[in-house]
Every structure is written in C-alpha cells, then in structure tokens.
Amino acid sequence: MHRDAVASGPNAVVSVGQLLERVAYLPAPDATKLTEAFRFADQAHLGQSRQSGDPYITHPLAVAEVCSNWKLDAEALMAALLHDTVEDCGVSTQEIAERFGPSVASLVSGLTKLDKLQFQSREEAQAENFRKMFMAMADDVRVILIKLADRLHNMRTLVGVSCEKRERVAKETLDIYAPIAHRLGLNEVFREFEDLCFEGLFPKRYRVLSQSLMAARGNRKEIIGRLEQSVTEQLPRFGIEAHVSGREKSLFSIYRKMREKRLSFAEVLDIYGFRILVPRLSDCYLALGALHALFKPSPGRFKDYIALPKSNGYQSLHTVVIGPYGTPIEFQIRTHEMHRVAEAGVAAHWLYKENDSAVTPLQQKAHEWMQSLLQTRGGEANELIDHVKIDLFPDVVYIFTPKGEIRELPRGATPVDFAYMVHTDVGNRCVAALVNGQSKPLDTELRNGDVVRIETRAEANPHPGWLGFVKTAKARAEIRHSLKNHTRERAISFGRRLLDSALKGVGLVGIDDPTLNWSQLFAEATANDREGVFEAIGLGHMLANVAARRLAPIDGSALLAKQLNPYAQAALRLSIEHLTQADIGISINGSEGTAVQYASCCFPIAGDNAWGFMRGGAGLLVHRASCPMARRQRSKDAARWADVVWGDPLFRVFQTQLDIEVNDEPGVLAKVAAAISACQANIVDISIEPHAGGLATLAVAIEVKNRLHLADVLRRVRRNKTVHRATRRTKNAGASPGM
C-alpha cells in the first residue's frame, strides 16, 4: 500500500488523492495510469528524504501538482512523478518505456541530468545539461514545462541547503529559468521565480523590503479601495462590463526599480497596479478611453500590446495615469482570454494533437524560438548558456521590412541581426543597410518602427567584428559558422601557396612533385590529408619550410639523386636544414581573409617593406620591417618569420594612421575630410586634440590601396592652407616621420 504523502509547512504538497481530484479533467483511464505512476515513483524513492526531512516523494508530487494547474495531459503528469527515478533511483529509461510508454520515457530522458559523464568543470556540466534539455524541449514543449515546475518547487524549498548552494541555484534560476518562463508567457511563475531568487540571493534585503511593504499596506489600503471603486463606477457609464482588481507589485520589481533609479522605498509610489478584465477586444479600447476620462494619462507611458503582442504571446493595453493624490498608477486592460494566456502562457492552451491546425500563433512562436536554440548546438558547450541568455530578452522592438512585414527583434538589435532573421544568406552577404531610407552603419541600434533594407554583395562574407555587436543567438551562431568555414577555405588556399613556394625553394617542382613523401609528413603531423597540411600551414600550426624538409625525398630533393655528387649532396642537405622561412618569402595579395592579419602596432600597407610572423593557430601577422616590435621578436625566433612580397593585383584596402597638425579653427575638420575623400580614401576614424598657440592635431585612420595611394592623400592634404604638417604615424612603428 502506497504512502499518502503530504508535506508540512507553508509549501504543503497535496496528497495523491488530492492530486487526482485536481486532474478531474483527465479521462478515467488516464487517472488510473497516473495512480500507477505514483505508486512506481513512491516505491523507487522509498527510504529517500529531502534536505528538509520530508519524504522525497513529496517533491515529484508537488511538481505534478504545478503541472496539473496548467492542465497538462496524463503523459506529462506521469513524467513529472517519474522525473527523478532514472537519475536518483537507478531505474532505466527502457523500464519506464515498457511500463508507461515511449512518450513518457522520452520526457523523463529529457529531464534527466548527465551526471554519469565526466566534465572538466561545473560550468561545462551545466552547459551540457542545458544543451540536452533544450534539444528535448524543442521536440516537446512539455519537457520545459515540467522542468519549470521542478525548479519552482526546488526554489520554494531552499530552506536547509547551504548558503553557497542557495545562491548558486538562485542565480541560475534568475539567469535562465525565470527568463524562459517569461518567454513562454508563464508570468505567474516568472514573478514567483524573481521573488524567490531575490530572497535566495539577498535574504536581508528581501526581509527588510518585505517588512516595509507589509507596513505600507495598511497606510495605502484605503487609497487603493477608493481608486478601485472610482474605476468600477466609471466603466458602466461607458457601457462596459468589467472586473477591476488592484494588485501589489512583486518585491523584486520594487527592488529593481529602487536600485535602477536609486530610490528609497518611501520614494517608490507605484507599488500597486490595477487590472481591468473585459469580455471583448473592442471593450479594451473603450475602457482605455473611460479611464483617461477619469484620470490624466502620463505622457509616453502607454503601450499597445494588443496590436503588437510580445514574443511570448502576451496581449494587453498598458497605461499609466496620475491618481487623485498625484501618484502614478499603472493599469492593464485585457480580455479574459488574454488574461488566461498572460498568466499561463504557452501552457494555457498547448494541445498535444497531431492535427497541425490546432496549433495557435502563440504555440507556433514558442516552437520557432525553441527550434532556433538548436542552431547553437554545433558550437562549444560553454557557449550555449550565453546563446540562450542573448535570446531571452524580455524587451523587443518591431522592425518593418521594405514590404511592410513586421519582424520582432530583441532590444539593441542591429541591421545584421535583422539580416540574419530574414535569411542566413542575406546575413552572410550583407554589406550595408538603409534604415528609414538613410544609410546607417551595420552596428546601428534599431528602434521601434524602423524600416530596414539590407544591401548584399555576392562575394561578401561575415566580418569577425560583427560578433561584438549582434544581439540574437541566430546571428551569432551563423557568423561563427560562416567564419569557421571561410577561414578554413582561406587557410587551405594560403597554406597551399606557402608550401608550394617552400618546396620550390629547396629545388623541388612544388606541391605537384610526384617524389614528395606525404606519408612521412602525415605520420609526423596531426593532419591526415593534404588539405589538413595546407590548413595547418595557413593557420601557423606548421611552418612551410619544416613541412618542405619532411616532404623532400629521402635524399633531400629530386636533384640530389640525379645531378649531384656525394659531397654536393651533403652540402645541399645542410643548406636545407638551415633554410628559414625568410629565405622563401611569402606572397600576399589580400585574398587570404582571416588567415592573414595586419599588426596594429605599425599598420603595414601594400608597398611597405614587410615581414610576416607565423602564429600557431592564428595564421600570419604582417609587420612593417621598420617595426621595433617585429625586429625584437624576429631576433628571437627567425624560423617563424618570412619576408612579405606584395602581389599584383591586390584584393583589399589597408588601414593606416595619419597625424595632421592644423590651425584650430571652424571648418578645418571638414576641409581635411574633403581632401581625403577627394582621393577616394575612406575615413575610418578621426579625433582632434587641441594644443596651445591655436593649433590642433588630427588623428585620422584611413583606408588606402597602397603606398602610392597614401602619397596622393598626403599631397592633397598638405595643399590645404590650414594644414601645417601631415605625416603617416610612425610613433608605434619606430620609423622615421613621413613616407
């Protein structure tokens, strides 16, 4: 006979009998299955206790109770009862599948942590657990609903755990689970999560604020009653049948407002809000008019979430009015159906049917969002939580396409985020953006109502700098994926050229020489094929001259065996062994992409005497030959350095720095900029530093094609009468002033 488990205390758990009463909406056969699942879980957890001292079975019962409030189906409720049996009791997923069906087993599997695997850190384990959970919930939303119910009961019963664990669990809940609940429209759960996390992270602040709020209730109760009565009497005059109720804002929202605006509790006036529920959508706007006729609206404090619903499906009218005592009061106006969705979100009407026609717009949005999380699963495990946090923005902006379609993006999103939302190819080929008809930088923060047009170019590719400002997980994942593939292609091409040049430098035909000993190189290197060797060389993991020596035939080169006597062979072998990358030289034409970088200490440009440094895993870093830093490093490790030969034609422009001394007078900046633009040079950055005597120095970063182009720019700038001196910056490079 099973135990009729009941927990004690303020968070009392229902008994199994009470749970069955709560799920009266289920057919009788399903209730029987639920009873069987409880008995199985009760037996599995026999002898186990929670840290509070209560029998462990009280926890799955509580989780099932929360799920029953959302009217979840029998499979979900059985999974809620069984969710810890695999993890804590040694029950196999196969056994659950045989007794309760594959769907229940799948749900339990999605909820089970990966404790049996070994991880290098708690963070890595956490990331892998989240990865599995998100993959499961993308297939079945019930996984996350049960997980939220599980976490809710754990947060309600944190008493008895250590301070360290309480803070860790509270922070994880606030960072991940609370935003997920909000994103799925579970606003009641979201608000309770926030308050419970507030208490877990800052117990003293929670206690003081809670006491202050209880004291304020008595002082403000009469005021709230009068306001509620005024609104209740006003609405019928406009022919509106409505239910009006006052509500107290959550402790965490009050605390957050105090912290953000640096207010004391006494200065927070709007700790109460009102909700107006009406039968029909049209009544929402009628009630808004009636309310504004009674109280003056606060300018700029009205939001229409009915016309533009939130990403979680939330719909309501929000307005802030000035009350009779001069205090701001927030009102939310919505229909009863909107209220049901607002409180229970996706759980309010998620139907587990095969008929796709039953899927509501809210369910479709939730499904699309959960599917988008799967785009991050190809990256590193520890990136997953960052991706999820980025995509859990509670605030959104609504952006229009040129055709008038509305797209929803997180606040702070940029045209690049918009481009990737339209299509991955649009994002990857994005080169410019028009916002409301005006050309704007790609890192521009978009605002509500902006109309965005993306300009693309077939040969364009994502820039690594985009990762510094994009806000959506989709954009970030696609950029990283494209950069990884593009970098590999460029590295293979660049490495092929380096190795071909190195082989020719030791007297061989090149990479197509049939006498090359590739098997020997594969045995000594981590690469398994030629492309792997080219990539390793292009990224700096392997030096081209070292690879050339390994690839040379046993006698050193094809020439040794055929043309040289033994003494000459020995001399040539010695020369090969002492061959450095510098003896070979590296040809660069600007098509290498991220495989070649240009040092910011000296800003080399085409035409400069330059050296390249092969960095392990980071490709080639080009310095000017006059750069003191490059000279010091080359003297320590000459084998990794090579002379740079500039190709013709070149396929990129180069950034350099100018120092321009001018008269500090109005319009001088425009004159200098005009002179630079007249030479078709792009200005990247410009700043001005005033000096004594009416002079100032302009620090200008520009893009030029080569040294000849730079010379034209300097000549044009020096012709201006306001300019005293214009030079290429050499302070960091240690070179002489000028060209």
Q: Is 391 a catalytic residue?
A: no
CA distance 362 to 349: 9
Chain centroid to CA 462: 16
CA distance 60 to 143: 14
Residue 356, class by beta-carbon neighbours within 10 Å (0-12 exposed, 13-18 middle, 19+ buried)? Answer: exposed
Give the CA diameter of the chain. 114
Contacts 24+ apart (CB under 8 A), 63-66: 63/146, 63/149, 63/150, 63/153, 64/19, 64/149, 65/13, 65/14, 65/19, 65/22, 66/149, 66/152, 66/153
Q: What is the dihedral of CA 547, 549, 552, 554, to 10 degrees?
A: -130
Chain centroid to CA 109: 27
Q: Sheet containing 723-728: give its strands across.
A: 682-690, 695-704, 654-663, 723-728
List all residues 6 or more positions away from 296 whose beta carbon is below 8 Å from its beta carbon: 321, 322
CB 464 within 8 A of CB 595: no
Q: What is the dihedral of CA 577, 582, 584, 589, to 10 degrees?
A: 150
From the candidates 30, 36, 73, 87, which is the catalytic residue?
87
CB 183 within 8 A of CB 344: no
Q: Which of 211, 196, 189, 102 is nearest to 156 (CA)?
A: 196
CA distances from 329 to 238, 272, 273, 284, 302 (A): 21, 7, 6, 18, 12
Q: Is 151 helix (H, G, I), strand (E, B) or coil?
A: helix
The DSSP element (H or E) to which 19 belongs, if any, is helix 16-22
Contacts 24+ apart (CB under 8 A), 542-546: 543/581, 543/614, 543/639, 543/640, 544/495, 544/498, 544/499, 544/501, 544/502, 544/581, 544/584, 545/502, 545/505, 545/579, 545/580, 545/581, 545/583, 545/584, 545/639, 546/639
Sequence-ordered alpha helix ranges (H) in 466-557: 473-505, 518-524, 530-538, 544-551
CA distance 541 to 453: 41
CA distances from 594 to 497, 616, 706 (A): 15, 14, 19
Q: Read off the amino acid at residue 515.
A: T
CB 445 within 8 A of CB 414: yes
**Which residues share a beta bridge with 396?**
410
List all residues 6 or more positions away from 568 whose beta carbon is below 8 Å from its beta carbon: none
Q: Is 16 helix (H, G, I), strand (E, B) or coil?
A: helix
CA distance 213 to 250: 10
From the candidates 88, 95, 337, 343, which is the catalytic residue?
88
Q: Is 88 a catalytic residue?
A: yes
CA distance 275 to 246: 6
Q: Which of 283, 321, 314, 315 is nearest to 300 (CA)?
A: 321
CA distance 670 to 668: 5
Q: Which of 24, 115, 129 is nearest to 77 (CA)?
A: 24
Strands 723-728 and 654-663: antiparallel
Strands 586-588 and 452-456: unpaired
List all residues 6 or more positions away from 479 whose beta carbon is below 8 Å from its beta carbon: 420, 427, 462, 466, 467, 470
Residues serving a catalytic function are 87-88
